[in-house]
Structure 1
Amino acid sequence: MAPFERPRPGRVPLRWKIAALAAGTACLVAAAVGVLVHLWTASDIRSRAEMQAFNTVYTAMDTYRRTGTLIEGAELDPPGLPASLRNPDDGDRHVGYDGHLDGNSGPTVWAAQRVGGPGSPVLAYSVNTNAQRYDLRRLDATMAVASLLALAAATPLAVYGAGLLGRRLSRVSETASRISAGDLDARTGPTQGRDEVDDIAATVDLMADTLGRKLRDERRFTADVAHELRTPVGGLLAAADLLPPGETEDLLRARVRDLRGLVEDLLEISRLDAGAELPVRDRVPLGAVVSEAVTRTGLTTEVEVSPSAGSAETDPRRLERIVGNLVVNAHRHGQAPVRVTVEGSTVVVRDHGPGFPADLLRDGPRRFQTGAAERGSGHGLGLTIAVGQARVLGAELRFANAPDGGAIATLHLPT
């Protein structure tokens, strides 16, 4: 039974997060590399074309001045020459870029130089980079396909590696959950890895060892104190019987009875902590057992038994103990009316007081702590015993506050 287990919201497994991160990183790297390769290749294509055009104009100008003829591809004042090259300010060679596309022509790199003085024609030569641009597009496609293949290969590997890490973390989480549920013997052990996960597992195991040792010391102390007090309390009770009747005798007897009840509660808690309690199950009418338990408290309590409440296979003595403690707690710390409802295999005890304190709803009842001051006085063992007995029965005991005020304790018996 885990009556105070906190609900876990929907979560995405760690391996899928790591796989998504690996895939995203691979995509980012592939995109960055692809862009860099594309830009570098495009720059290299243009640089090579400019160098080719520049050198060709030099050769063409030398041939034209010596022979008066033009080499193949060279032209004087061609119509497609960019405007920036039509009227150069000097006689040096200049290079220009024309990004215009016309079918299979373009982009084009031009180089030009004036033949003579101002007003003389301009000799120009062009280099069409369409073939290189086609190769660039093929390179881009190849890079994209290679990136997809790398991504397809890397993602399963990332999922597998993340799965190994997730399983190791799950072992640690499972151990921590078992410890929080009361299994102080749960240990993770080695996680087959010398990393942070192994450190976490060792820390959780060390925490469990320390916690178990402290709890064992606390239980041993509780049991020893209860056993040591039992004899003197019995002697006090016998001595109280020898006092002459009167107010003093009644007051002393009442205090001794309270002390004996505390000792008996401590002994019961020590047995529950030690796991020495075993249920004696029997098929009993649930409504009748609950009604009898409420009657034995001697407190005015409303009992409502639904027609759906049939028989239950449980330990009637422990069930009466749970119901009795819940009813006494409702009267002691809450306000009337106190109502007990039996429906199906569920028993609900409700009062109309200030409700359970927030720390009890969050962490469950703790011994020797009654919560908020407005919930009255007591030694805080009644709900602790009820939870322990419910655990012995395999039942589930939950605590909540009603929207309109009041505390609600709900006991779900196993069906």
Structure 2
Amino acid sequence: MSLRWKISATVAAVSVVVAVALSLIVHLAYARKQADDAHRLQAERIQLLLREYHRGSQPAFGSRLDDPAVPADLRAAVRGGKVATALRQTSEGTFIWAAAGTGDHVLSLRSDYRDSLGDLAALDRVLLLGSAAVVAGGTLAGIAIGARLSDRLRRAATAARHVSAGDPTVRVGAAIGGRSHDEATELAHAVDAMAGALQARLEAERRVTADIAHELRTPLTGLTTAAELLPPGRMTDIVQERTKALRALVEDVLEVARLDTATERPALSDVALGEFTTHRAAALAPDARVVVRVGTVVATDPRRLERILANLLTNATRHGRPPITVVVDGPRVTVRDRGPGFPGHLLRDGPARFRKGGDRTTPGHGLGLTIAAGQAAVLGARLTFANPREGGALATLDLAPAAGGEPSP
């Protein structure tokens, strides 16, 4: 249940409780006042009738002497010349009794209480209508308040998702709008402050990483040139291999730093995905098997797509086991191997830079899948990772088909 309906249900429940409580209080108070007035009026009547009886020795004005219908407790209460009243409900209806003792006799008067009950029923109808109006008004007010608060919080959640996706222009406070300074506004300002602090920290880290990588480029260029001039030998091969690996690492770090800025833009063009994947896979991983089920034309950046395929195939070759299978099915490309599968942290949190699986002896720096995911985000594609039940690792890349691109078997 959403917050809107929780607030509406709470307000409606409170309105019902308040309306019922007030109606009961009014009903009981009015019923008691009616009964007290009836008892007082009936006592005054029986006293007047008692004086008339003493004058003429005969009951008058509807009063009776020794009426057998007088309630027993009322008959006992008037012994010794006392006056008493009682309200009784019988099969014939509800009546108000008054009795007075006179010697060995009891003078009594019975009056119908139906009119008073009718007035009470009319009051109950008014209270019922008023309670219904209060509940309806309270419910509508709760819906309006809940809708406004829920809408503001929903806009705040949407803006927060944009911020977490890396959009630096979105601010939660501006997204929720409104001039009221309530808890939702305070929460929005707190989220904006946190996002600004995190963004500044990430930007500082990105600048440091990019600056370090740039500064390493110049000495690495000289080191590479010097390594190529060394005389042939085992140590020369080791130096050249390490220099090449270090240069590749610096280039990867620079690429990650550029992707972190979220300013990269793809150079889109129409690409026949089946042919493109077949040719690139043959050059990048000759042992991989390519299956084109349905070929189609996609709107993508060929250079970035090649980078993604290269990193996925390199990861399958280094960390998986053959056979490696690449399947093109429309705008979807899957790369699968028969190795131990992706580590749990990657399936749970996504690729993390400089973090590999449990086996630290395998080559690489943990940047390949990070770069592939970043390039996929630039292309507007979706890259997912899974471990099928049959074993191995499965990477799936979903691209956007080009406008008018027709699938072909």
TM-score, with normalisation over the residues of structure 2? Answer: 0.87
Q: Does 1:407 align with 2:397?
A: no
Q: Does 1:181 align with 2:168?
A: no
1:288 maps to a residue whose letter is E
Q: Distance in 1 between matches of 2:298 and 2:326?
A: 17
2:22 is aligned, of 33, 37, 41, to 33
Q: Does 1:124 align with 2:108?
A: yes
Q: Distance in 2 between matches of 1:377 and 1:125?
A: 111
Q: Does 1:84 align with 2:68?
A: no
CA contact (8 A) 1:115 1:121 kept: yes
1:177 maps to a residue whose letter is R
- Do the aligned partners of residues 64 and 191 (structure 1) sit closer, same or farther apart at CA in structure 2, a change above 3 Å counting? same
Provide the secondary structure at the position in 1 that maps to 2:90.
coil
- Do the aligned partners of residues 245 and 171 (structure 1) sit closer, same or farther apart at CA in structure 2, a change above 3 Å counting? same
CA contact (8 A) 1:370 1:377 kept: no
Can you list the C-alpha shifts for 1:222-256, whole angstroms capped at 9, x where unaligned? 11111111122222222322333333222232222
Alignment of 1:186-265 (within 5 A): 186-187=170-171, 188-189=173-174, 191-265=178-252
- Do the aligned partners of residues 227 and 143 (structure 1) sit closer, same or farther apart at CA in structure 2, a change above 3 Å counting? same
Q: Distance in 2 between matches of 1:55 and 1:372?
A: 101
Q: Distance in 1 between matches of 2:206 and 2:34?
A: 83
Q: Distance in 2 between matches of 1:159 and 1:231?
A: 65
- Do the aligned partners of residues 143 and 246 (structure 1) sit closer, same or farther apart at CA in structure 2, a change above 3 Å counting? same
Alignment of 1:257-276 (within 5 A): 257-276=244-263
Can you list the C-alpha shifts for 1:4-62, whole angstroms capped at 9, x where unaligned? xxxxxxx63x4344333323322222122112222222222222222223333334334
Can you list the C-alpha shifts for 1:108-151, whole angstroms capped at 9, x where unaligned? 232334322xxx33222233221111111111111222232344
1:383 maps to a residue whose letter is L
Q: Does 1:305 align with 2:292?
A: yes
1:321 maps to a residue whose letter is R
Q: Distance in 1 between matches of 2:125 and 2:344?
A: 62
CA contact (8 A) 2:78 2:84 kept: no
1:97 is aligned, of 87, 95, 110, to 87
2:147 matched residue in structure 1: 163
- Tell me by how many angstroms 1:278 deviates: 3.0
Can you list the C-alpha shifts for 1:384-403, whole angstroms capped at 9, x where unaligned? 11111112212111223323
Q: Distance in 1 between matches of 2:219 and 2:165?
A: 36
Q: Distance in 2 between matches of 1:134 and 1:359?
A: 76
Provide the secondary structure at the position in 2 that maps to 1:380.
coil
2:102 is aligned, of 97, 104, 115, to 115
1:138 matched residue in structure 2: 122
1:282 matched residue in structure 2: 269
1:64 maps to a residue whose letter is Y
- Do the aligned partners of residues 234 and 367 (structure 1) sit closer, same or farther apart at CA in structure 2, a change above 3 Å counting? same
Q: Distance in 1 between matches of 2:19 and 2:385?
A: 55
Q: Distance in 1 between matches of 2:291 and 2:180?
A: 59
1:349 is aligned, of 310, 322, 335, to 335
Aligned residues: 397
- Do the aligned partners of residues 353 and 141 (structure 1) sit closer, same or farther apart at CA in structure 2, a change above 3 Å counting? farther
Q: Distance in 1 between matches of 2:234 and 2:374?
A: 38
2:282 matched residue in structure 1: 295
- Tell me by how many angstroms 1:207 deviates: 1.3
2:383 maps to a residue whose letter is L
- Do the aligned partners of residues 397 and 251 (structure 1) sit closer, same or farther apart at CA in structure 2, a change above 3 Å counting? same
- Tell me by how many angstroms 1:382 deviates: 1.0
Q: Distance in 2 between matches of 1:18 and 1:151?
A: 14
Can you list the C-alpha shifts for 1:139-197, whole angstroms capped at 9, x where unaligned? 11112222323444444444333333333323322220110111122113364111111
Q: Does 1:44 align with 2:33?
A: yes
- Tell me by how many angstroms 1:372 deviates: 4.6
Can you list the C-alpha shifts for 1:297-334, whole angstroms capped at 9, x where unaligned? 3463232211x122223222211111111122233334
CA contact (8 A) 2:66 2:106 kept: yes
Alignment of 1:328-343 (within 5 A): 328-343=314-329
- Tell me by how many angstroms 1:198 deviates: 1.1
Provide the secondary structure at the position in 2 that maps to 1:290.
helix
Q: Distance in 1 between matches of 2:397 and 2:150?
A: 36
- Tell me by how many angstroms 1:77 deviates: 2.8
CA contact (8 A) 1:301 1:339 kept: yes
1:6 matched residue in structure 2: none
- Tell me by how many angstroms 1:375 deviates: 10
Q: Does 1:369 align with 2:355?
A: yes
CA contact (8 A) 1:172 1:200 kept: no
CA contact (8 A) 1:114 1:122 kept: yes
Structure 1 residues without counterparts, runs of 5 or longer: 1-10
Percentage identity across aligned positions?
42
RMSD: 2.6
Q: Distance in 1 between matches of 2:101 and 2:362?
A: 108
